[in-house]
Amino acid sequence: AALAARAGGARAARTCGSADMGALFSLFSSGPPDGHLRLHARLSSSARSSGAFGLHVWGPSASAPTAWDAPLEPSGEDWFGPYFDVPLTDSASEPAGAGGPALGALLHSGDNKVCTVEFATDAEVRAKLPELWFGHGDPCTTAPSPADVPIGDLARGGARAHWLKEHLIAWRAAGAAPAGSIVRLHCSLTGQLRDAGSDGVQNSDTDEEGGPFTLELQEGGLPADLVEKHPYLKGCAALVVPHDVHARLLCRRQLAVSLEGPSGEILDCTGVQLGALLDELFSYEGPLGCFPTSEEDAQACKRPRYGSAFRRTRSALPEEAGGLTLALWSPVAQDVSVNLYEGPRGSKVETIAMERSNDGVWRAQGPATWWDKYYTYQVKAYHPQARAVVSMETPDPYSRACSADSTRTLACYLPVYMEAVPGGNLADWRGAPRPPFSHRGHAVVYELHIRDFSAADESVPADRRGKYLAFEQEGTVGDKHLRKLAAAGVTHVQLLPNYDFGSVPERKEDQREPSIPDGLAPDSDVQQAAVVETADSDAFNWGYDPVLYDVPEGSYATDPDGLPRVLEHRRMVAALHKKGLRVVVDVVYNHTLGSGPEGSHSVLDKCVPGYYYRRSEGGDYENSTCMNNTAGERAMMGRLVVDSVLHWTNEYRVDGFRFDLMGHIPLSVIQQCRQALDALTPEVDGVDGPRVLMYGEGWEFGEVAGDQRGKTAVQRHLAGTGIGSFNDRVRDAVLGGSPFTDPRQQGLMTGLFTKPWPDEVGVPQGDIQQQRKDLLVAMDKVRVALVGSLSKYKLQEDCFGVQGVLADEIHGGFVAYTGQPEEIINYVSAHDNETLYDNTVWKMPASLFSAEERMRANWLCSAIVAFAHGIPFFHAGDELLRSKSLDRDSYNSGDWFNLLDFSGKRSAFGTGLPPKGKNGEKWDMMRPMLRDPTLRPTPEMVAATTAKLCELLQVRRSTPLIGLTDAFDVFRKVDFPGGGASQEPGVIVMQVRNGTSSAGKGSLCPNLARVVVVISARFEEMRIPVPESGPEAGKCPLKLHPLQARSEDAQTRSARVDGAELVVPPQAAVVFVEPLPGKEAWLQE
């Protein structure tokens, strides 16, 4: 077989009958060595040219499991593919891990996964000796016949061909085919194409419109414009589709391409991806979802009253009045109908056929009696995951309200539905004032989970705890706390996902809460076991599991069916506005909870199968975001994102958007959102669009890394866009390490070099000389963060003595990447990973640090965020020394570990070991910490920390020179005295001088000549030379900021000017100010 493969690859092998192949195999193969299982992995001849493949092996039956990046190399190769001799353990005594196989094997080349096989028990492994063939169907222990083995990946749902333009298909395998090969396009209206091995693709349609069609290889490969648009397809062959092929019709059928060698032998076959073709032929900008058929109908459906009175009024109208239209974009569907339901549950009332137009939209028009009914779409289409034509029921992807658990869509039109308007008066609600806000760069963001806000607050009525309406309750502990933060300087509350997500049962009767006994040990594992048992059925989840993008989550509503969730979400936003807080919503357009032809959580993929999701070159749905990556580069997915952003802005009066994993969304789509928002005006739309915030996670990883799917909204592409991204550089520099390293690694504020771990503990942070170097580098990174991470800011000297270095070139580059301060979100803590306090517990052990030192380290971390130019971001509980009992990923850890107590009386620290799934490997290190009562924050410490954060925010708000909003002002007015090679480790000085603003609007500050911010991570008092003032200042002496001179913290009040020195207490962030001549009275105000 090996000789046959070498002589002519799979083509030569397939000219032999099965008996000949068996003879060849027995002649040239001696079988595996003793104690080995030979695994034959199916790999077609064309696929072998795409890379070097190896076998990843795991499980206790393997004597030599492999690392992912060091797979087992092939022992040989035959017509079937590479084979691997896997060494086994001597006995079956070692059990498999919990839920894991005794032996698993996966053929891959990098991230290109081809086929896998698993054996549950060791006995099953031994039963397969000496050889096993897999990856072609059911694994077998005898050599299969070439006629019975699929030649390509069509049977597995592979789709390596890409229909990019009406008359062009890209397929990499065709470019490596021998001269004289033929490529054919096959179609099946019934979805029954079959890879019949050496007999080729079977069951093709043979009608005039269905082919098969011969495709011509285009010289020169893919045109440059297509390579630019689809970089990951570079190197693919370009196949010309005949002009008599009706692509608009064929896209509704199953499609495949086959490759036939010059002698008629079948070399390969695969499915076809249609996304780019649908964009070219069917991109659509008209209305979708449920809407009045005409303007007159829109007026007729206005609600004069609430509830059933409306229904009686509507049902009394003539059927031709107040009608509605349902519209679904689904150009690949063979048939679509509407299922009408009388209520959120119960049987179907009627099924109505929809009509398809040439624009790919299916429409149905209905009378006024359809309003307030629930409906779904029934879509019949070929689905690549089912590999068949299937009938699928789904709610409307443009739903505005739905039944509990998003099973059905409510026929409604929010712009005129008075029942869903707070107070019942549309004009009053839309015209209600928002908190004043003059510039995006002045934002201060506080991240909060809706349920966390009130779940533990006994001052909130029991039926409103964890709900939208808890925010309406005045005088509660949470209400007072948010008002205090707003008064101090927080401008926006960012709410974790509040669109419709699928990870919490929305009906209370379907929820279960854990039962946790009293008196358990602080390091017990009983608590987490109880939480895990109900985790998927309790009322808590972060909610990064979208189902319907434009409907508020139902579990936060008092009634999850219909319009109450809409009304109550609007009331929540209005209540936050009344507290002086604008509202940012967390949106997750990078993935959905479900895909495929089945399951209630799959919506988009039932409407246009395979279109809305980013697929690998081979056809798999990408999941680098954690699941079901959406394809924002597709025209209608991009449109959905822009439409959704405008919907939330207009219909819920939100004031900003935080984009989850924004780096997976095309930059062009994010910019379209910005442009659409900027076009909104208070006069026409009731929205001051340019004041709406947009920021997100600009991480670059997965299939989008290196712009392989075009330019995406990653950090390095955002300069000058007005779109912000989270600054992980300052987080890691301040805290130490990263979320992916040893949590004990220290940083600037947690003792690196200044109070390090003893060498014998083994924390991987180098000797004292290395720590000093790393500390100085971290300080430079913090300086860059303090100037808003502006890429063109020039440091006078870095810690290695390099003169005049640009921020985007310092220490290897990419520390800075913004064009304006508003484009950076400075933070040290967020819902992800450990809380700020838990991080300091990990890094500042009780054997080295006092409770007060740990508390002050938390203060310093917050001070960096508060005093930096750019947008400060705080996680709810930063000001409360919030703990999650060291949980590093509490997305599904229930109310127990996510406790947020604004009174400061309760802490989740020491409430048991955190859930094992994400934390178990560190339980042994956690136990002594959770048992240590000195690590548990006291109510007094919490109160002091809240006061400190308010003080920091008040200093920022009262001092215009802190938080400059224009890059040129930062370039000209901010410097760092005492920096460079001779700097004092652990001490950063930032000076900001007054002057004329770059915008030409007078001076930057009406009261101060300059501000000097000193941040000291040292554990002893420090004396710092008073910086030279420059021409704009020096006429009045520096004074401690008046708010800090009246600080509740005595140590802060002890900061002072002593002659030519600034005296800074241990672990302190203090601000000295010089008033303008004649403005000395400001110090007393």
Catalytic residue list: 660, 697
Give the separation between CA 454 and CA 495, rounded to whole angstroms: 13
Torsion of CA 761, 763, 769, 770, to 10 degrees: 170
8 A C-beta contact, residue 843 and residue 853: no
Spatial CA neighbour of 405 closest among 276, 547, 284: 547
Give the separation between CA 786 and CA 970, rounded to whole angstroms: 10
Residue 427 phi, psi dihedral angles, 5° rounding = -65, -45
| CA 425 to mean position of chain CA atoms | 37
Spatial CA neighbour of 630 closest among 534, 549, 527: 549
**Interior angle at CA 933, CA 932 and CA 937, nearest 5:** 120
Q: Which helix (H) or strand (E) holds 945?
A: helix 939-958
**Interior angle at CA 552, CA 546 and CA 554, nearest 5:** 90
Locate 228 and state its tokens: 């630019």
Longest dimension (CA), the chain: 104
Give the separation between CA 1032 and CA 1027, rounded to whole angstroms: 13
Q: Which residues pair with 328 in a beta bridge?
A: 362
Q: Give the Cβ contact number of residue 977 at 10 Å.
A: 18
Give the separation between CA 744 and CA 747, rounded to whole angstroms: 10
Give the separation between CA 468 and CA 552, rounded to whole angstroms: 10
Give the separation between CA 919 and CA 890, rounded to whole angstroms: 10
Give the separation between CA 821 and CA 823, rounded to whole angstroms: 5
Q: Kind of pairing, strands 1056-1058 and 1061-1064? A: antiparallel
Spatial CA neighbour of 1054 closest among 1041, 854, 1045: 1045
Give the separation between CA 593 and CA 589, rounded to whole angstroms: 11
8 A C-beta contact, residue 842 and residue 833: no
SS (HEC) of 155-170: HHCCCCEEEEECCEEE
Give the separation between CA 450 and CA 558, rounded to whole angstroms: 14
- Write down how long the chain is: 1085
Spatial CA neighbour of 812 closest among 777, 782, 785: 777
Question: Token match 């002593």: residue?
Answer: 1058
Locate 250 and state its tokens: 């064929």
